[in-house]
Structure 1
Amino acid sequence: MNKIRIPNQRAIIDRRVIVAKIDALAAGDAASARPEIVAVLRAALDAGRSELARRLAQKPSAGHECSAGQAFLVDQLVRLIHDHVVGRIYPVGTRSTGERLTIMAVGGYGRAEMAPHSDVDIAFFTPTRSAPWCEQVIEAILYFLWDLGLKVGHSSRTPDDMVRLAREDITIRTALLEGRFVWGDEDLYQNSRQRFFAEVVAGTERQFVAEKLAERNARHKRMGDSRYVVEPNVKDGKGGLRDLHTLYWIGKYIHKVRSAADLVDVGLLTPAEYRSFRRAESFMLAVRCHLHMITDRAEDRLTFDLQRQVAERMNFADRTGKSAVERFMQFYFLQAKRVGSLTGVFLAHIDQQFAQTRRRRGFLAAFTARPRELKGYRVFGGRIEAPSDDWFRKDPVRLIEIFQLAQQESLEVHPATMRQADRDSGLIDNKVRNDPAANALFLDILAGRNDPETVLRWMNEAGVFGKFVPDFGRVNAQMQFDMYHHYTVDEHTIRAIGLLNRIEKGDLAEDHPRATKLIHKVESRRVAYVAALLHDIAKGRGGDHSVLGAEVAKKLCPRFGLDETETELVAWLVRQHLLMSATAFKRDLTDPATIENFVGEVQSLERLRHLMILTAIDIRAVGPGVWNSWKRQLLGELSDSAQERLRLGHMRHGRKERVAFKKQTVTGLLGENAHLIEDLDQIFGDAYWIAEPEKIIALNLVQYSVAQSIREQLSIHCEYDEGRGATLVSVIAADHPGLFYRIAGGIHLAGANIIDARIHTTRNGWAVDNFLVQDPVGQPFNETTQIDRIKKSIADALAGKVELVPQLAKRPLPRTRAGAFDVRPRVIFDNKASNRFTVIEIHARDRPALLNRLARTLFENQLVVYSAHITAYGERAADTFYVTDLLGNKIDASDRKQAIEQSLLDAASDRRQAELEDA
């Protein structure tokens, strides 16, 4: 965009030296010397790229210098090739007026902003279509460029063609907008440029702006529609380079500016904003160049496996509570946020300029709408704006007030006022933060009934949010370096608040029926909103963010105006905001001790209501597809059991009563097969009746009865469970050691993931095992081919027809980028979580058939598994097993636990995976 001074250009490429080499090679027959000439040019290209890579290593954030250097390198090669082709391959003594050619760089190459593997976009212009000499020269130039391995986007047109096509196609128009003369006939270039602005641009400014903004919105939607997705696209993502380019294109199209600096002269950016523009652009260009150099290809997506390498190349270092990669990504997102702020201000100015030139027609031509006043602010066209430039300086509390009024009245904050708020946000000091009126206004925004999510996002964009709540400012643009969280901490938090607002309005009743009812039963709705704001407030500080966040809550809640009871509840919710999901997803909900332990921590219905709501919005705000019917079902079961325990002071039924109640319910489900209850009463023990849901019991009893009647040694039944969003796989077979891990291995080989498992043995020695399975993207196995495959795979595994270990080791993870993360295996023993069983929880990197390997290890350590609960958090897996020894006792001896722990760590380790793959 701006002319970048490139120091010591000849160290990148010395055209005179290369010309001498080419002349020497072409002195005889230029055509036969072509391979040697290409070799000289390729060597020059490689040497130039190496020099630019060296310079970037020395100045790793010098994005403008590197990208301009890449364009300079290509310029020189194009000029060398042009002169060689015109001078030696197709020389013409005296050219006619039609035998003229100009080479123009367009697109990113035209801006002189190129990463090492960017496309070389070239437009060739000739005076007329019928010019054989021009066609020969263009073809020869292109072949040379292709032989150098460059990816060339090219067009060949006359000025008349250019005008006609540019009028029809906005992509062509945008590319030509950035046209830059490279070599050839300069008069032809100037004539083409003049005609472009006179015959294409003039009169189409409004249309161009509208189409570029529509194009931008479509691109954002395709890329995730948030500048805070944790694997951003540096070029095309929201807040990325393309957004900066769009500003430049619009400014250039409307005001004919020649560089980004000229945007200041025409009033579209202030000098300070222009400096921000350049800093953000230079940083992102540097990141893009590093990506190309690391991957040796045109890679623009900052994926997890590349983030670490780019952070290291750009000299980011670890700090307490934050790794180098997290600090790098936080800086990246701050730049993307700045781009978003610039875009809003810029487009508002464009809108105003168009409004001033728009002429009124018809009956209302003489009518002028008048702005209204709202508490001193000017409201016009659905926007609220500050009445003067010193408005916030006179009273900084107004920096909060304007957003409160915007939320209350459903108004948009005028972008010019957003710019003002951004500029003056530094006025928010401790006096403002502790002002009761300012805090009351903030709480009105946070718990507002209209659209707090949008208004809080505006506050965040303007820098007001982080200044008023410095603890929130600390997590601003902070990335969570894992594959589970899709957004930065601040974006996740604001989305959670938006979800809470939508649940309260009833907009999400289908997905969150329970939370939709509970939010209207809580004693203090503002507790729910403040807890949503603060639940992740202490991330990135080192230590347990839940414990540290509770301390932050105790400090902030009184400041916000919450009373002592509300403050205590918010602090508890922040400290325990992971309790409900951990219990629901990693513990056996049919075990009475699970409910007792959970209720012992929750202690009140009010806490339970709030915790259920907070858990739901926290999970859903993680990212698309994370909330599903399986999680909703588990949380609902836990909520119902805990509510019953809290209301009655005890469980409604003892063990005997619970079994009798289950049998009565199952009798109704069985219908004409109700006799099976009595027929099989002595076969299935009480533990089975307590552990399984009524619907699954009914299915198991019928399946067992049929299998016995036809003397079937292996019975496999698969059925879609809509309520759980998964497929139930019930396996009935003669019980024998290792049955569980073999079934699990067969299921994994069929391409399914196990999300829950219950293992039972009847009194006459038959295994009745129930698995809930999904495909790798969280959908049920429901197609006939999938069902057939899973049945065959289990049967083959149990019959020994397949070697499980080597076959499972060959299966790749659905997301191989998990290798970018360091997940150290951990094993936790808990003898208090259940009255009957030892609970073993294993945390490890998710990988092919981890459950199979862990289950096999438990078998080899002579443990009996009664249930397994499988949870995945992106690249991390948390598998929980309820076990006893062979005599049905808990595992108490410390040396025994140490031996089991070491075996499980070995099974879960990366080293073990590598050994299996090599076997």
Structure 2
Amino acid sequence: MNRTRIPNQRRIIDRRALAEEIGRLHSEDGKDARPAIVERLKEALEKGREELAERLLDKPSAGHECAGGHSFLIDQLIRVIYDHVTGDLLPQSNPTPGERLTLLAVGGYGRAEMAPQSDVDIAFVTPQRRTPWCEQVIETMLYLLWDLGLKVGHSSRTVDEMITMSKQDLTVRTAMLEGRYLWGDQALYDEGARRFRSEVVRGTARQFVSEKLEERNERHKRMGDSRYVVEPNVKDGKGGLRDLQTLYWIGKYIHNVRSASELVDVGLLTREEYRSFRRAENFLLAVRCHLHTLTGRAEDRLTFDFQRQIAERMNFAERPGKAPVERFMQFYFLQAKRVGSLTGVFLAHIDDELAQKRRRTGLLAGFSPKPRMLKGYRVFGGRIAAPGDDWFERDPVRLIEIFQLAEAEGLEIHPDTMRLIDRDNGLIKQEVGKDPRANALFIDLLTGRNDPETVLRWMNETGVFGRFVPDFGRVNAQMQFDMYHHYTVDEHTIRAIGLLNRIEKGDLSKDHPRSTKLIHKVGSRRAAYVAVLLHDIAKGRGGDHSVLGAEVAQKLCPRFGLTASETELVSWLVREHLLMSATAFKRDLTDPKTIEDFVAKVQGIERLRQLAILTSVDIRAVGPGTWNSWKGQLLGQLFDSAQERLRLGHKRDGRDLQVDAKKEAVAEILGDRSALIEQSAAQLDDAYWIAEPDDVIALNLVHFDAAKAAGHKLSVHCEFYEARGATLVTVIAADHPGLFYRIAGGIHLAGANIIDARIHTTRKGWAIDNFLVQDPLGQPFGEDDQLERIETAIGDALANRIELAPKLAQRPLPRTRAAAFDVNPQVFFDNTASRRFTVIEVNARDRSALLNRLARALFEGNLIVQSAHITAYGERAVDTFYVTDLVGDKIVDKKRLADIEAALLEAASDKRQRELESA
């Protein structure tokens, strides 16, 4: 691309001095000098790398200079090696025409963009069939390069072979496209370059562009298909270096440009866009160089464990509400966003250019269809365009209007107009933000029936969104440094809006049947969309984003044109948008007090419906796999219980009626085995019947009866539980102290994660414990050998055939990235959340067998666990326990609570984990 001038080149490597020294070593010792020569070359390579590493620390954002410096270093080494091989080892006294050789730097090396651990891609080109001399030179050079520890990607071809393979293979053609003369026969290089342009490139522009874009799309799919994933791939991810390189390849292929700056001369980029191109490329190259330096390998994924280190190396400082790593990643995503904007405009221009060529040469060469007019805009070929350069300057509200029209009419925005929007977004001043027409247009866009997600993303990438809604601009490209959130705040929000639109259209009825029905019952769909827009609007402000966001909603909703009642509803939804998920996932939904407390906050059916919809899209928009049927079931159970309570007022349904209704439902499932209900009724108290779902009770009764009939003291049954997207593990055993933590340990040993647990004891001392488990990726265990492994592990744990603690310590979590985060364990007690139990919530770093260790601490503290609810938020686990003391009372004594807290904190601590692993 653009060759960056490298300052103080001889401090990196002095080629002349190195060549002279190697020549001297060879003249003194001949072929025996090889070890000394290799050693001298290694020293030169290491010294050069050390110099460049020091420069990167001094100028941590100088990506072009660092990448160019490494290319320069390799250039000089290869030239010295070539001259040594052809001059000292294999000299030619009278070369034939076939004994010519030229060296091309290709790939990233050809662009002079090398990170410290990049491969060295070289093409050895000969005029015709390779002669023995050429083969010897190539082989000798490669052995010397390998001896230096370089990773060399090489090819050896004649000019004819190079042309033939370039025609057949897109990868070869791309490599040759950016081939750079490195050393050797200049005339041969010139001949190959001329033939490549005339025989390969000419007449194939459309095919090349199509294939490169298809290649790019496939790469994006592999990388997550978003430029806002929180662990981006700097090279191959969306908005990364490869996207910029694709622009250059296409521009070079079509217009034969020699550098990115010439894209301006041929009209594909404006001067300001080119400057953005260089700034983004410079930053991304710097990040990649830091990654290679820190890892000592060709690592391009910017994982959590390196984000913090690179933020420090690049001198990002802390700001109120934002850690250095969050500021660094926000800047990263702003660059990726800019790359996306440049890509969109650039490719649309290429498309126009190729279409014009097609029209000029096709059957319709003389036909020019006229555009139609839409509110003063030109609409042509599915695109809407501003009619003149000063269109937005004359009325800045049009900067909102054009996006609303694009969404309503299903149109794309012409690339020239996107450029105008990008240029003119500064016209959106305070008066535009207050303009009723502008706000009405924005709400129409937000609540659009076609595809508001895509159009809002265009609006965001042009900078209009953040200027029109400055609070949204503050979360633009903002990441959250954790393993739970997959996207930046703005991308998460826009995705959530898109999900709401798809739910309303019925596209997600299978995964979200309840929300699909509810969205058509809410009193204000505007409130639903605005609540999704604003639910995370206050993140990164250094306080509770829910409370701060509710204040923002009170300010913005009237501006958007919402009524006072809609404003109040949206503000409440933003303030309480985590209420439903926290209740469903961390509380016992069969405890009447849980539902009472939830309903006391919700207070009405409209709020409940709106909150259920917002909760669903918020969870799903976090990232792939975050939403699952288990979460859907829990949220649905909470919704149904709350709705019933709201409709009945605050009248409590009698326990006897609930138990009778449950028994009737179970009898229907059991059919001719319904007599089991009466046989076991005397042993199972009301709490069991209320706590468990109908189908689980039916399974438990059959299992319990079979265990008693067989005289088993321990019976374990596992089966795939489709309704919950998990595996149900039922353990029936004689109850004894420590049973819960031992069962949990056995399940963990089998490689499963417990997501919910209910513990019951019959009046005759039998434990009936139900666990829902998944694998570490959130999927159920379904294979017979997996289920058998769980049963065996539980049996071994309960029979003391294994020592749990050391065995469990040997099973670290598969997602060891959690070590990149500081998660200080915390313990919270709540004696108001249940009438019968003390609720203990433990927040800690997710790790191997955490539940087992916490359960053991509770057992050693003489506590009885009634139920456990396990939730994972990336690297953070939240485990909630409903407990009593040994006589069935709540724990209220302050010293007792302090002792329990200390024991749980020790069980959850990193120190305790290290002790177990070293034991």
TM range, smaller chain: over 0.9
Q: Which amino acid aligns with 2:603?
A: Q
2:755 touches 2:870 (CA, 8 Å); kept in 1? Answer: yes
Q: Which residue of 2 aligns with 1:854?
A: 854
Q: Compared with structure 1, are the counterparts of its residues 893 and 121 closer, same or farther at alpha carbon in structure 2 (3 Å cutoff)?
A: same
Superposed, which structure 2 residues align to 1:415-814 within 5 Å? 415-650=415-650, 653-814=653-814
Give 1:24 shift: 2.4
2:23 touches 2:88 (CA, 8 Å); kept in 1? Answer: no
1:759 touches 1:867 (CA, 8 Å); kept in 2? Answer: yes
Give 1:23 shift: 1.9
Q: Which amino acid aligns with 1:807?
A: K
Give 1:682 shift: 1.5
Give 1:364 shift: 5.1
Give 1:28 shift: 3.9
CA distance in 2, matches of 1:366, 1:309: 61
Give 1:31 shift: 2.2
Q: Which residue of 1 aligns with 2:309?
A: 309
Q: Which residue of 2 aligns with 1:182?
A: 182
Give 1:130 shift: 3.7
Q: Compared with structure 1, are the counterparts of its residues 626 and 383 closer, same or farther at alpha carbon in structure 2 (3 Å cutoff)?
A: same
CA distance in 2, matches of 1:417, 1:349: 11
Q: Which residue of 1 aligns with 2:133?
A: 133
Q: Which residue of 1 aligns with 2:95?
A: 95
**Structure 1 residues 350-359 or 551-560, which shifts more?**
350-359
Q: Which amino acid aligns with 1:747?
A: I
Q: Which amino acid aligns with 2:510?
A: E
CA distance in 2, matches of 1:26, 1:639: 84
Q: Which amino acid aligns with 1:805?
A: A
Give 1:628 shift: 0.5
Give 1:205 shift: 1.2
Q: Which residue of 2 aligns with 1:231?
A: 231
Give 1:652 shift: 6.2
Q: Which residue of 2 aligns with 1:113?
A: 113
CA distance in 1, matches of 2:562, 2:165: 64
CA distance in 1, matches of 2:663, 2:192: 86
CA distance in 2, matches of 1:164, 1:740: 69
Give 1:355 shift: 2.4
Superposed, which structure 2 residues align to 1:400-411 within 5 Å? 400-411=400-411
CA distance in 1, matches of 2:802, 2:627: 36
Q: Which residue of 2 aligns with 1:835?
A: 835
Q: Which residue of 1 aligns with 2:892?
A: 892
Give 1:677 shift: 1.8
Q: Which residue of 1 aligns with 2:3?
A: 3
Q: Which residue of 2 aligns with 1:825?
A: 825
Query: What's the TM-score, normalizing by structure 2?
Result: 0.99
CA distance in 2, matches of 1:721, 1:762: 24
Give 1:914 shift: 0.8
Q: Which residue of 2 aligns with 1:289?
A: 289
Give 1:717 shift: 1.0
2:269 touches 2:346 (CA, 8 Å); kept in 1? Answer: yes
Number of aligned residue pairs = 919
Q: Which residue of 2 aligns with 1:171?
A: 171
1:644 touches 1:651 (CA, 8 Å); kept in 2? Answer: no
Q: Which amino acid aligns with 1:589?
A: L
Superposed, which structure 2 residues align to 1:352-367 within 5 Å? 352-359=352-359, 366-367=366-367
Q: Which residue of 2 aligns with 1:904?
A: 904
Q: Which residue of 1 aligns with 2:23?
A: 23
CA distance in 2, matches of 1:693, 1:419: 58
Give 1:653 shift: 2.5
CA distance in 1, matches of 2:362, 2:776: 61
CA distance in 2, matches of 1:499, 1:553: 21
CA distance in 2, matches of 1:359, 1:112: 38
Look up the SS of the partner of 2:359 in the other structure.
coil
1:406 touches 1:455 (CA, 8 Å); kept in 2? Answer: yes
Q: Which amino acid aligns with 1:216?
A: R
Aligned pair 1:13/2:2, yes or no?
no
Q: Which amino acid aligns with 1:162?
A: M
Aligned pair 1:266/2:259, yes or no?
no
CA distance in 2, matches of 1:263, 1:114: 22
Q: Which amino acid aligns with 2:737?
A: P
Give 1:311 shift: 0.7
Q: Which residue of 2 aligns with 1:44?
A: 44
Q: Which amino acid aligns with 1:279?
A: R
CA distance in 2, matches of 1:559, 1:123: 62
Look up the SS of the partner of 1:868 in the other structure.
strand
Per-residue deviation, residues 401-429 of structure 1 (Å, max 9, x unmatched): 00011111111111111111011000101
Give 1:612 shift: 0.3
Q: Which residue of 2 aligns with 1:71?
A: 71
Look up the SS of the partner of 1:302 in the other structure.
coil
Q: Which amino acid aligns with 2:765?
A: G
Superposed, which structure 2 residues align to 1:332-351 within 5 Å? 332-351=332-351
**Structure 1 residues 670-679 or 767-776, which shifts more?**
670-679
Q: Compared with structure 1, are the counterparts of its residues 238 and 269 closer, same or farther at alpha carbon in structure 2 (3 Å cutoff)?
A: same
CA distance in 2, matches of 1:85, 1:419: 53
1:837 touches 1:883 (CA, 8 Å); kept in 2? Answer: yes
CA distance in 2, matches of 1:720, 1:193: 63
CA distance in 1, matches of 2:396, 2:270: 22
CA distance in 1, matches of 2:130, 2:422: 58
CA distance in 1, matches of 2:773, 2:793: 14
CA distance in 2, matches of 1:317, 1:888: 53
Give 1:3 shift: 2.2
Q: Which amino acid aligns with 2:615?
A: T
1:528 touches 1:614 (CA, 8 Å); kept in 2? Answer: yes
CA distance in 2, matches of 1:519, 1:686: 36
Give 1:361 shift: 7.2
Identical counterparts, % of pairs: 73
1:644 touches 1:652 (CA, 8 Å); kept in 2? Answer: no
Look up the SS of the partner of 1:697 in the other structure.
helix
Per-residue deviation, residues 720-761 of structure 1 (Å, max 9, x unmatched): 111101111110111110000000000000000000000011
CA distance in 1, matches of 2:318, 2:248: 36
Look up the SS of the partner of 2:355 in the other structure.
helix
Per-residue deviation, residues 316-339 of structure 1 (Å, max 9, x unmatched): 111111111110000000000001
**Structure 1 residues 211-220 or 603-612, which shifts more?**
211-220
CA distance in 1, matches of 2:438, 2:810: 60
Give 1:368 shift: 2.6
1:229 touches 1:487 (CA, 8 Å); kept in 2? Answer: yes
CA distance in 1, matches of 2:362, 2:899: 89
2:341 touches 2:462 (CA, 8 Å); kept in 1? Answer: yes
Give 1:366 shift: 4.5
Give 1:352 shift: 2.1
Q: Which residue of 1 aligns with 2:368?
A: 368
Q: Which amino acid aligns with 1:706?
A: A
Q: Which amino acid aligns with 2:637?
A: E
Q: Give the gaps of 5 or more residues in structure 2.
A: none
Query: What's the TM-score, normalizing by structure 1?
Result: 0.99
CA distance in 2, matches of 1:41, 1:235: 29
Q: Which amino acid aligns with 1:72?
A: F
**Structure 1 residues 7-16 or 609-618, which shifts more?**
7-16
Per-residue deviation, residues 110-152 of structure 1 (Å, max 9, x unmatched): 1111001111111111112141101100100011001111111
1:866 touches 1:883 (CA, 8 Å); kept in 2? Answer: yes
Give 1:30 shift: 2.9
Give 1:16 shift: 2.2
Look up the SS of the partner of 1:776 in the other structure.
coil
Look up the SS of the partner of 1:182 in the other structure.
strand
Look up the SS of the partner of 1:96 in the other structure.
coil
CA distance in 1, matches of 2:902, 2:572: 35
2:130 touches 2:158 (CA, 8 Å); kept in 1? Answer: no
Look up the SS of the partner of 1:373 in the other structure.
strand
Per-residue deviation, residues 652-708 of structure 1 (Å, max 9, x unmatched): 621121112212222222222222222222211111111111211111112111111
